[in-house]
Amino acid sequence: MNLTVFGFGSVGRVLCRQALDIGIGVVAVADSTGVLVSSNSSFSSEELNTISKAKESGKRLSDISTPTATLLQPLDAVDYIAKNSQSPVVADCSAYDDPSTYLLPALARNVPIVLANKKPLTGTMEDFLKLTERRDFIRLESTVGAGLPTMITLRRILDSGDEIKKVEGQLSGTLGYILSALQKGDKFSDVVVDAKAKGFTEPDPR
């Protein structure tokens, strides 16, 4: 498997490091300025660390020069990895809401997608149905319930013929963290700042 990670912020960078640690390749990383595509089958740990440090220092990917990567636009990058990468998967860790930029093109090229970003699922019903039409090509567990297997559990219940009459619960890991801290008497403003620092919230929690 080789990942292309859209959204190279704190979540995306951790995902890339974890992927390499377990033998999954990272063939491309992207932010709002473009997609850095490895000239090899995958970035090495050293290459990824160099790009990560530059990104953490405030640089955009379009400002990072590396001899082992090429900067492409999203559609061109998806087209490239679909044709040249072995077992490609697109992981969306961004806060982008338009699925037509790279998610739907990936699906059209038989590239599976994995979402940590919930925004593409909250647009039009037409886009939602296009994204979820091929269930084997999309995974979205980490968009709800702090990554618990909520969605797949519900899907298996439905597939077995059972009827779901009611779902009750607090399914947001971020809100769960914040509400637990508020119960202990912590200030709301302090809790939100703390949750953002720990990477639990969106980049802009407002």
Strands (E), the chain: 2-6, 25-31, 34-38, 69-72, 88-92, 113-115, 138-139
pLDDT tens profile 99-143: 889 999 999 999 999 998 888 888 899 999 999 998 889 988 777
Please say if the pLDDT value at position 205 is more than 80: no
Tokens representing residue 36 in the block: 């850095």
Closest CA to 120 of 144, 151, 147, 92: 92
Please say if the pLDDT value at position 28 is more than 90: yes
More confident residue, 105 or 97: 105
The fraction of the chain above a pLDDT of 90, given in percent, is 60
pLDDT of 114: 93
Long-range interactions of 47-51: CB distance < 8 A, separation 24+: 48/16, 48/17, 48/20, 51/8
pTM of the model: 0.77
In sequence order, the β-bridge partners of residue 72 are 35
For the residues 200-204, what does the mean pLDDT come to?
75
Residues 6+ apart with CB under 8 A from 1: 24, 25, 87, 88, 89
Work out the pLDDT band at 4, boundaries 50, 70, 90: very high
pLDDT tens profile 34-68: 999 999 889 999 999 999 999 999 999 999 888 88
- Is 121:33 a contact under the CB 8 Å cutoff? no
